[in-house]
Structure 1
Amino acid sequence: MQLLRVQIGLLVGQVEELALALPAGEQGRCLALASVGEARRKLRAGLPAGIGPERPAEQLERMRLALTYHLGELEAVGRMTVQGGQRDSEPCGS
């Protein structure tokens, strides 16, 4: 499980960097940032025990899959839309 936590930590940074590089109105940006925030909260708080030892590992794996999905989507969008490397740090919904 520790390996999953490390992978998620690395993915959080990559997804956040790519999401913040996109314009504030870009589709998928806010979803990716929400996923990053949720992953950070869950990693900090620790996962609930669940029903048996596999439950926390399943939850971590779902987080990893969601972040991997967002990473792929952001990379694809970034190749099409980001020009000049400008970073927009405004939060979603402002």
Structure 2
Amino acid sequence: FTQIHDQHWQIEQYHRAIKQVCHIEHFQVRSERPVRNHIFASLLSFVYLQKMQIAQEFTNIYQHQRGLFKETVGKFIESFAKSKDHLLPKLAGAINA
């Protein structure tokens, strides 16, 4: 039972990772060839992530995924927010009549 349960859990982890990290279900195309290309690229990225994890480049693929674009997104928000100060609410103090 333990062996079968462990195998089942590994399959569940595979499905979760390939959906959430490799985005196998998120594609913007409808024709057959681009869909196949997307599925192949997703499977290839999963295999590459597994190789990196085995090589101990990281321990958690979800943590690795979050860290990939953190700096880039931060820089974009910082540069974008500077030019949008006019959108911030300007609150005036309370006036007692």
TM-score by length of 2: 0.36
Higher RCO (CA 8 Å, separation ≥ 6 residues): 1
| Higher Cα radius of gyration | 2
